[in-house]
Structure 1
Amino acid sequence: MDASIEDPRLSTSVEVVFAKQPLPELGAQVTLRSMALSVVLGVVFCFVGLRIQVTAGIVPALNMPITVLSFFLLKCSVRLLHKGGLTTLPFTRQENMFLMTCVVTCLNLTVTGGFATSLIGMTSIVAKTLSDDPDPRDVVDNVPTTKWILYFFLIGLAGVFANIPFTQVMIIDYNLLFPTGTVIGQLINSFHTPEGAYVAKLQVMAIFKAFFGSFTWSVFQWFYTSGNGCGFQNFPSFGLGLYKRRFYFDFSALYVGLGMICPLMVNLGLLFGAIVSWGFLYPFLETKQGQWYETESPSSLKGLNGYKVFITVALIVTDGLINFVTLITSAAINFYQMRQEGDTSGLANYINKLHPSLNYDERKRIEVFMASRIPIAGPVAAYVACAAVTAVAVPAMFSQIRFYHIAALYTAMPVIVFCNTYATGLTDWSVAPTYAKFMVFVIAAWIGRPGAVVASLLASGMTMGTLHISSQAMQDLKSGHMTLASPRAMVAGQLFGVALSAVAAPCIFLAFQSSARPGAPVGSKESSYPCPYAGLYRAIGIIGMGGVKELPKYCLEFCLASVCVTVAIDALVLVSQMKGWSVHRYIPSMTVIALPFFAGPFFTIDMCIGSLLLHLWKRMEGSSAALLSSSVAAGLMCGEGLFTLPSAMLNMFKVQPPMCMKFLAGGQEVEVVDSFLNSSKT
């Protein structure tokens, strides 16, 4: 331990509680029993996740159920081995993190690789829903499972390797929150806390009380959601007028908890972006229907959705590029200064220079992280090799896409990975689906001839999978950082999860295809597995073949204005930091402001309420809030997060809630409904 670390006896920290437990070696973190359990859990969650996606289209976050189940199953397996008289390694939080990382990575690659979106969108089944006579060059049917295994494996590897070079920057230098990663780290620490630590007991009790309340509230809400627009999630808190603009409190304990742990400026930035976009910009654009665009479709890029997608991408990519360039420039200057000063003082000087006021926990975590960090040269070389193999293998499997399309995609991917991961670290929100839709349009417009749709859908799948794996891998690394798990063990878990998903996902999808009803194959509207978003992705590719002229009027001008505003605000922040002005503390990140432009404003209300509750708690009991607020937030997020699993299972077996609670405007509409209900009784 570094001598510069404060006396642990003076702190009520998490790591003081674990101080008597020696850190396990890499072999004790990456164990055969955890790998065996990850295969079982990975296959189960892949089946559940893909089943939900091919039916409903949207998969809820299953990180919390995976975390809880991985802990209890691994703990039970260790106990069974002990009862059988077998000597086993101690069950540690680091091994728990390895197991959870394997399963989460496996699930993420399965649901973002494109089976229910871009890849099924290439088939003739989906093509015929958009055209009676689709071009056969833009249709791909009956792809062998072995090809999908290789395709998924390459996507997953690229996602993991593209992420590793930014790990130290995101987690140590920028100290980004990664809310879900932080909460999971706290949860696993609480599961493994040794008995006898008073503060730890208080925090564990706070987690489980909030967890029970959040889970119970989620169960209660479920009973009122039988139908579209039903339930507390659709409560018009600020009136029906604002509700139509998606400004309402949806009673989500998850987002309230998220708001409690996110910085105030992040929550206010989200709210500001929601007001600018959904309060002013989009209502203005709606008045231009018939002048600037014709379609009323909420998903077509030819209509209002085109503005939403491209403005959001312009804001996030510009902000990410500026941060990326700033990072590279700053790193070069620091490296030059260290060479000039002959600085060889190592870790202690690094901590004291960049983080002089860290507490015991934070310093200990940085020490462990830096001691087992992965040299950048390895993952960079692996990413280049993976890109080269992909540029050869994918065109060999699908003639519609060329090697230079993939080379261009993988050249730009590290910058996009940085942008998306940075946004996830600030707000917990990955915008990988937005980038994927954007990439469909770009590649289709680039090729502009028959075959472009298939090529663009393949590029979309690569983009979505790589970006989502990267951002979620950083979430897991944040959790590992908080539990003193070795970054090398975490990356090993991610690679094992990729290999598991590459085999399991195509086989599970093949099982869905085999079990589909005769005459209603996967992807058709009559099927039990309709893949509702597949047609959307294919439609974007068809529009993209026409180029930017297919976009609504003035869309590019709005994007250019977004770029200029982002550059101006980021320049103000940089100048403020260099001059020592305090104004930069009150300017939220443009990435944060951009997220509600596409996602909507409802979750920003929840997060701001979380900030308000935390502020009131601090005003009433400051010491209690400082000690327990993060634990309460973790419990709120975990309770609702865990309910997604039984909710998904109920939906899978078509168990419907018994009631629908819906709100209507007063007047004639209520009279019509009352008349209908009265007549139905008779």
Structure 2
Amino acid sequence: MDANIGDPRLTPSVERAFEVQPLPGFWGIVTLRAMVVSAVLGVVFCFVALRIHMTAGIVPALNMPTSVLSFFFLKWFVALLQSCGIATLPFTRQENMFVLTSITTCINMALTGGFATYIIGMTTAVAKSLVDNPDQKDIIEDLPTVKYTLFLFLIGFASILCIVPFTQIMLIDYRLLFPSGSVTAHLVNSFHTPQGAYVAKLQVATLLKTFLGSFSWSVFQWFYTAGNNCGFQAFPTFGLALYKRRFYFDFSATYVGVGMICPFMVNFALLFGAILSWGFLYPYIESKKGQWYHTDSPTSLNGSNGYKVFLGITMILTDGIFNFLTLITTTSIDFYHKRQEQDSGMTHYIKKHPSLSYDDRKRIELFLSSKIPLPLPVVGYIVCAIISAAVIPSIFSQIKFYHVAALYVVAPVFAFCNSYGTGLTDWSAAPTYAKFTIFIIAAWIAHPGAVVASLVACGIINATVHVSSQAMQDSKTGYMTLTSPQVMVTGQIFGVILGSIINPSIFYAFKTTAKHSGIAIGSKHSEYPCPYSGVYRAIGIIGMGGVKELPEHCVTFCTVAFFITVAVDVLRLVSQKKGWSIQMYIPSMTAIALPFFTGSYFTIAMCLGSVVLFVWNKIHSQSAELLSSAVAAGLICGEGLFSLPTTLLSMAEVHPPICMKFLPSGEELGEVDRFLSKLATSAKS
């Protein structure tokens, strides 16, 4: 035992439980079996994450299912190899961390790759949902998969490299918590104890049962979807009148599962926003046609669509800016206090903290002995920036090399600020940075092509800022599981490679399915409406001064929405500072705003998920706490993965045999009955 660490018997320690296990070397962690499991689970979770992102727009944290499944599948794979008589290395938590990090990075590439936001925002479907005759220079209909892969790899690789130099500062010098990373570390550490392995096995068994149920239900529903608006997902649960207002339950197991993971206030804020907009506000605005606006176009920003778009954007941007300023203020104050302590050097740190626990000393020692030399990521980032400045303009001709260079200059600053804030609050402000970037770049260029250029710039900043902060979360988990920084960065880079290949392929499969349905991705009635894509494009239009005339009273509505959002955010902030119990019941204004674009169909299912979880907690709180995340993950994965066979069947020209539709009684039903009677008569003759 190393004498400078201290006697492990003096204090209770996590690492004491693992002391008898020797630390594996680099190639004992970065194994072929770990890469195989990472690739398989990466495909699974990217399918699920992309499908949710492209339909609901809100993706819940997938830490729990990824942690459980990465542990279970890797352990099962090792047991399988051993049963076949193949000699294998022991399964360690460090190898588990490599797999988990690779999967997490792959998922983050899916969420920041623009598949449901800025890339779809460049398409004709989204452009025509905002402007009747969009400029062709601001439209990119199909981005080749190879170019997309290259673009994602460049921005993902830069995201990892730009944050590596700050790892020691955040994890050791300033001891930032990174709540999600710390929780995941405790989970991984516990899984590798006998009791934790039993719990993981129980959770996986539950997950598989609900997965099979969700998958089977999706198979059953598929048979009734031979046409647009067919099947159970078009069931007019509350009547046809409300169905036309997008109020119905679509029998989606995915959204029920998402609702079980998301906080109940998020779910009910979504439902409240849907009722407020589609139930009251929009019918009132439509009744003012001919007075406040005169166009019949459902997409023109000069008509009713202008109210819908700008009200939603006002609430989302105001909420984002408020939280961004709050985060920056909190971060600055905390950073100032840390600097005042004059405690950033490791020598001072060890001297001034002689009472460091055994775990802390062990972790610091491993970190320092295997940290990555500073010049390596710095030079790598500069080379990546130079390559990106040359390559990205060849992929998107609307953006110039000096725009890309400027973005890569400011990106590390944004990444540091966001990662520091995430370490304090567990909240990433990457979407807000991205929206600012859209507006600034569009205003900078201010001519046709500016919208696409600003969306590309948004992608660079969004990926750099978000992926880097989540990489730092993973680094915190690695630090607490005695996984070396070299292994963690390798896992993150491997995840970037996986994400750059897997996600464009899945996206291509979704596009193929949408083409067969005849409704393009990004359209409001598409299977993949991508609700945020219109928001991102609309910000670009505003930035370049593309909106010259708004419908009457639109600015008034937006002003009211602005002040309401600020008031709600201030109330939430004050209640948190004062410790008022009301803070648990103050809704997120972004959650309220999202249904302004999408309707309420998914919000009803998510609220049902909250109700199921509430009842389960009342009946048996212990089992609910232990297994609810596994049940939710099974529901999400079962229906999410059914997208894969659906896509393959669609590509093979195999279509569902039945269309189940619902019609109102009266004249329409009579016409359908007469048509069916004529059809039956013709068939007999």
What TM-score comes out, normalization by structure 2 length?
0.68
Q: Which stretch of the first structure deviates more once superposed, 436-445 or 275-284?
A: 436-445
Q: Which stretch of the first structure deviates more once superposed, 189-198 or 485-494?
A: 189-198
The aligned residue for residue 450 of structure 2 is 452
- Are the aligned partners of 2:114 and 2:459 in contact in 1 as well (CA < 8 Å)? yes
Cα offsets for 1:214-257 (capped at 9, x unmatched) = 22222222222222222222223233333333333222222222
CA 1:146 to 1:219, structure 2 compared with 1: closer, same or farther past 3 Å?
closer
The aligned residue for residue 34 of structure 1 is 34
- Are the aligned partners of 1:293 and 1:552 in contact in 2 as well (CA < 8 Å)? yes
The aligned residue for residue 635 of structure 1 is 634
Distance 1:212 1:148 in 2: 34
The aligned residue for residue 267 of structure 1 is 267
- Are the aligned partners of 2:411 and 2:464 in contact in 1 as well (CA < 8 Å)? no
Aligned letter for 1:306?
Answer: V
Aligned letter for 1:401?
Answer: I
Q: Does 1:497 align with 2:500?
A: no
Aligned letter for 2:256?
Answer: V
The aligned residue for residue 517 of structure 1 is none
Q: Which stretch of the first structure deviates more once superposed, 490-499 or 477-486?
A: 477-486
Q: CA deviation at 1:191?
A: 9.8
Distance 1:190 1:655 in 2: 46
Q: CA deviation at 1:619?
A: 2.4
Distance 1:382 1:449 in 2: 35
CA 1:350 to 1:300, structure 2 compared with 1: closer, same or farther past 3 Å?
farther
Distance 1:416 1:548 in 2: 32
Residue correspondence of structure 1 range 618-629 to structure 2 within 5 A:
618-629=617-628
The aligned residue for residue 214 of structure 1 is 214
Aligned letter for 2:620?
Answer: E
The aligned residue for residue 386 of structure 2 is 389
Paired-residue identity, %? 49
Distance 1:249 1:370 in 2: 55
Q: Does 1:320 align with 2:298?
A: no
- Are the aligned partners of 2:433 and 2:462 in contact in 1 as well (CA < 8 Å)? yes
CA 1:208 to 1:412, structure 2 compared with 1: closer, same or farther past 3 Å?
same
Which SS does the other structure have where 1:663 is aligned?
coil
Q: Does 1:606 align with 2:605?
A: yes
- Are the aligned partners of 2:225 and 2:231 in contact in 1 as well (CA < 8 Å)? yes
Q: CA deviation at 1:331?
A: 1.6
The aligned residue for residue 664 of structure 1 is 663
Cα offsets for 1:468-521 (capped at 9, x unmatched) = 756876897899899987776454323223245657889x79x99xxxxxxxxx
Distance 1:366 1:641 in 2: 43
The aligned residue for residue 87 of structure 1 is 87
Q: CA deviation at 1:277?
A: 3.4
Q: CA deviation at 1:155?
A: 1.5
Q: Does 1:401 align with 2:404?
A: no
Residue correspondence of structure 1 range 420-459 to structure 2 within 5 A:
443-452=441-450, 455-459=453-457
- Are the aligned partners of 1:159 and 1:470 in contact in 2 as well (CA < 8 Å)? yes
The aligned residue for residue 617 of structure 1 is 616
- Are the aligned partners of 1:440 and 1:457 in contact in 2 as well (CA < 8 Å)? yes
Cα offsets for 1:567-620 (capped at 9, x unmatched) = 333333333333443332332343444443444433332222222222222322
Q: CA deviation at 1:127?
A: 11
Distance 2:564 2:472 in 1: 29
Q: Does 1:257 align with 2:260?
A: no
CA 1:174 to 1:197, structure 2 compared with 1: closer, same or farther past 3 Å?
closer
The aligned residue for residue 653 of structure 2 is 654
- Are the aligned partners of 1:206 and 1:628 in contact in 2 as well (CA < 8 Å)? yes
- Are the aligned partners of 1:218 and 1:643 in contact in 2 as well (CA < 8 Å)? yes
Distance 2:661 2:142 in 1: 44
- Are the aligned partners of 2:516 and 2:650 in contact in 1 as well (CA < 8 Å)? no
Which SS does the other structure have where 2:243 is aligned?
helix
The aligned residue for residue 224 of structure 1 is 224
Q: Cα RMSD over matched residues?
A: 6.3
Q: CA deviation at 1:422?
A: 9.7
The aligned residue for residue 153 of structure 2 is 153
The aligned residue for residue 238 of structure 1 is 238
Distance 2:65 2:553 in 1: 45
Cα offsets for 1:296-336 (capped at 9, x unmatched) = 66666553453255235314422431342243144236526
CA 1:652 to 1:267, structure 2 compared with 1: closer, same or farther past 3 Å?
same
- Are the aligned partners of 2:124 and 2:140 in contact in 1 as well (CA < 8 Å)? yes
Distance 1:20 1:326 in 2: 45
Q: Which stretch of the first structure deviates more once superposed, 137-146 or 542-551?
A: 137-146
Distance 1:120 1:324 in 2: 29
The aligned residue for residue 354 of structure 1 is none
CA 1:226 to 1:314, structure 2 compared with 1: closer, same or farther past 3 Å?
same
- Are the aligned partners of 2:418 and 2:469 in contact in 1 as well (CA < 8 Å)? no
Aligned letter for 2:217?
Answer: W
Distance 1:209 1:120 in 2: 35
Aligned letter for 1:389?
Answer: I
CA 1:408 to 1:236, structure 2 compared with 1: closer, same or farther past 3 Å?
farther
Distance 1:376 1:550 in 2: 55
CA 1:530 to 1:587, structure 2 compared with 1: closer, same or farther past 3 Å?
closer
CA 1:619 to 1:371, structure 2 compared with 1: closer, same or farther past 3 Å?
farther
- Are the aligned partners of 2:437 and 2:458 in contact in 1 as well (CA < 8 Å)? yes
Cα offsets for 1:102-151 (capped at 9, x unmatched) = 466457647964699977998999999x99x9999879999999976664
Q: CA deviation at 1:6?
A: 7.1
Distance 2:359 2:656 in 1: 48
The aligned residue for residue 247 of structure 2 is 247
Q: CA deviation at 1:681?
A: 1.8
The aligned residue for residue 331 of structure 1 is 334
Which SS does the other structure have where 1:272 is aligned?
helix
Aligned letter for 2:546?
Answer: G
- Are the aligned partners of 1:318 and 1:563 in contact in 2 as well (CA < 8 Å)? no
CA 1:57 to 1:591, structure 2 compared with 1: closer, same or farther past 3 Å?
closer
Aligned letter for 1:310?
Answer: I
Cα offsets for 1:243-290 (capped at 9, x unmatched) = 333333222222222322333333333333333333334444444555
- Are the aligned partners of 1:576 and 1:584 in contact in 2 as well (CA < 8 Å)? yes
- Are the aligned partners of 2:237 and 2:248 in contact in 1 as well (CA < 8 Å)? yes
Cα offsets for 1:173-213 (capped at 9, x unmatched) = 474699xx98x998x99998869976555444333332332
The aligned residue for residue 519 of structure 1 is none
Distance 2:619 2:73 in 1: 40
Distance 2:125 2:591 in 1: 39
CA 1:75 to 1:444, structure 2 compared with 1: closer, same or farther past 3 Å?
same
Q: CA deviation at 1:656?
A: 1.8
CA 1:651 to 1:490, structure 2 compared with 1: closer, same or farther past 3 Å?
farther
Aligned letter for 1:29?
Answer: I
- Are the aligned partners of 1:118 and 1:457 in contact in 2 as well (CA < 8 Å)? yes
Which SS does the other structure have where 1:87 is aligned?
coil
Which SS does the other structure have where 1:612 is aligned?
helix
Aligned letter for 2:644?
Answer: L
- Are the aligned partners of 1:35 and 1:99 in contact in 2 as well (CA < 8 Å)? yes
Residue correspondence of structure 1 range 45-64 to structure 2 within 5 A:
none
Q: Which stretch of the first structure deviates more once superposed, 289-298 or 599-608?
A: 289-298
Q: Which stretch of the first structure deviates more once superposed, 582-591 or 215-224?
A: 582-591
Residue correspondence of structure 1 range 517-556 to structure 2 within 5 A:
545-549=544-548
Distance 1:365 1:671 in 2: 76
Residue segments in structure 2 that go unaligned for 5+ positions in a row? 1-6, 525-532
